[in-house]
Chains A and B, each alone.
Chain A
């Protein structure tokens, strides 16, 4: 039976996987349409096999050789680093300091590269299309594997089979993106990727800080995990905290950017006038 933690786990993994799958799909679509569908599909399948092997191998190794509290600490630290990076990008994008990720533009750039690349054939495959598809899916998928392993292993301590739930969440997202992409045969630029990335950043940072603090208990005499005030109920409070802080940062940055632009404009005008 799925509890609240299991549902949160599947939802987070699903959203994160959907975002990465949309980006990987753009690369594979560009290679398929411009170069060779066969090479693009073989490259994708090869990368998926490597990712599945990695999930199973690393997952089993970590559960067998690392203690519960230490695992919690390592997982928390890694989630925190990833989560803060996702939040940083989301804050910079929302405040106008970084361009929004544009799937249509990325698709055109990939197609341009594919047109210019040389035509080499290895093992009966267009090598450029194979390598680019393989690398694209592997790199985008690695982040999903990381989230599946960390969330799945930590949740497995309370919810048996959580690693399987997490994998199912990821698989559902990949299947959905692939089916929709195969129907429209166009980059999925309508997907609100930036909002989804912000949501994933909030979740990763929340669980990251929560588990890394709990995992600090490994370093205490006795090695028992540290508790949060209110136990698991602290999670929604931490999530709300991140939401408030990031919205505050966006507001402050927007005001500062606008103020800087107002100051910079008259200076640029007078400089241009002085030059005449």
Chain B
């Protein structure tokens, strides 16, 4: 670590401490949470400090510049260092922390957050609990990532085999590797602050050497790309059943062909949007894990003509 970084880190920490001391005197401020790490690894790129400031309910002061947006941001300054603070009333903060259906957003949301100060004991306890990953959220997140991997791989395969465009296939394969890395890290119950591929390289060095490092090292060629894609597809084949379990178990319970719109409604509130679900189901259908059928749909309130949308069926016995 060079001196500049060390002194920068020290300046930031001193500013933060001074800020907290001042904040403690305001009885309406219940807690301060640091967003993102302040360490040697991350300090080099920071121009300020991100904070959540939890205020008491009913004391929010809105400005014209806040517009209709319910989230309120204020930029403060301490020791010449800007503090980018989001002001959050206690009740909303509790919902943010407790909401079990947080999925992708919250994976990064609560990662590397540090409770710097709290005058509310119950709030400290929630925070502690929030930093544990809810299994249900983890599973939903894995569905999203796996769907993303499937989509990227299919697209890249086409670029490579039909279009024979090595450059774009190379970009696609790297994209698939990043998606796969995110899926892999989340599968392990971890949360990444920056690039998941670095953590994935530690978790599964052989796999990621093949699907990521090998692509970065050499020139894009048919062979390296085919090898990377094959390895990724093999990973998908191995993990899809487990990773897509929320979707499969819902379909199994239904014991009928479920239209995609209905499936999406079931997963509403969990950020499992229709396109993720479609990606996942399409892969499962191609892999013969479920049947793709169709169902009638009326597109508008006045429509009388039935169009069809995909519907998916899985035999409960399977």
A, B from the same assembly:
no
Listed in ascending order, the chain B residues whose CB lies under 8 Å from chain A are none
Listed in ascending order, the chain A residues whose CB lies under 8 Å from chain B are none
